[in-house]
Structure 1
Amino acid sequence: MPGIKYKRGFLIPVLLGAFVAFLSFGVTFGLLFILANVLIIYLLFVFRLRKRSWYYRLIGGAYLIFLVTFAGVEGYILKEAYDGPGNLSGDYDAVLILGAGLKGEEPSKTLLSRLDTAEKILKVREDLPVIVSGGQGPGESITEAEAMGRHLVANGIEESRIIYEESSTNTFENMLYSRRLLAEEGLTEGKVLIVTNDFHLARSKMLARDVGLEPSGYSAPTPWLVRVNYYIREFFAMVKTFLLGRGTLGG
């Protein structure tokens, strides 16, 4: 059929592009997600050339709902990402840096981006303490909080300004345990300037509000090579947050 041949002609360059992306970046969740969606769209068009049936309409309708949901959630994530950097002159109790993994004792590239951004803020707002939040995960020799503290001190931030939260294992716990530390310091209003990567800011602020914090955000940049992957993954993290409860997240 000519229509099917046309669709094959459309699919071939897409698959070639995916192969180039694989050679450049390796297999990522984002790449697999994009390929899966290309395949679904291709199959829906192919079946459209044949006699339509109730299950075609059902699958097509469900996929359309998914695409609308995906677009809406990603729009919210992007809005929050590009609303940061936030206002450095705001009324805050503390800066809150969220952990993002270590390699042994060294911060990951993602975490370094957050730390570099936080250092700039802390050198402008010398009146603010900083909470470094992150426990110890697999493959990590020390807690993320300790690694962050070391990095800040090595780059000119006074040790006396650093508050260590070393128990959290996910974003919800980052917020919950940091809220408790603020209360112990007498900072009961919980006004925090959260420093995390752009893709992570929307969910971080949402979870912060859930535990009684008053969050503002300051986004750290994400390298463009991995940006699409992280934004796609964050969609599923947001959905998991809503469906399974915000205290059960693994990230």
Structure 2
Amino acid sequence: MRPGFIFMLTRNDLTVPDAPAHLETALAAGVRQIGFKDVGLPFEALRALAARIREAGGACWLEVVSLDAASEAASIRAGVEIGVDRLLGGCRAEVAAPLLAGTGIGYYPFPGRVVGHPSVLEGDAAEIAASARALAARPEVAGLDLLAYRGAVPAEALAAEVCAAAGKPVIAAGSIDRPERVQAMARAGCAGFTVGTAALDGAFRGAPPDLAAQLRAIRAAAACFD
């Protein structure tokens, strides 16, 4: 079974201050794939989030969004120390590889040229697919984190090309705020998708704005990944 919906306790590339309360709402709604970033809360609070996710039988994802090699390495070290299950994002596999060796953490870097905050994916489909193919060939790479809706290439076509090129699981991240986009990523062959800001802001279309209702609607949309 594909991971499907991954709920991110983040907004504007930061873990939200009230992440512990939102985590309990997510667990009560049946969400078990949950992630955050290594910035926005103190380290011990992030460690507590990870422990609570695992205690509930879930998988803990950490997303790395860094503009330079030093900060990317620091984020990866934080993920290792926190004890996350999977690491999303980052652009420098050569930096990540030695830091993740022997940890058992699944590594899903960004293919293509990712710039700015919030992150944007630059380049055409051929360039991004070539990057995906090269990354996926590395043994430490478990899959890819694709900013499908954050670039100039039509998202479903791009995701399909990247999935075909990679031959490993692809997680679609960023701007997935409606059922149609969830379904498009499933059709393209993605293994899952992340939603953070849209759910926290009550902006996932077709659902009431409270977080519990938003998560129920996203889980219903994610049934196409089962």
TM-score normalised by L of structure 1: 0.30
More helix by percentage: 1
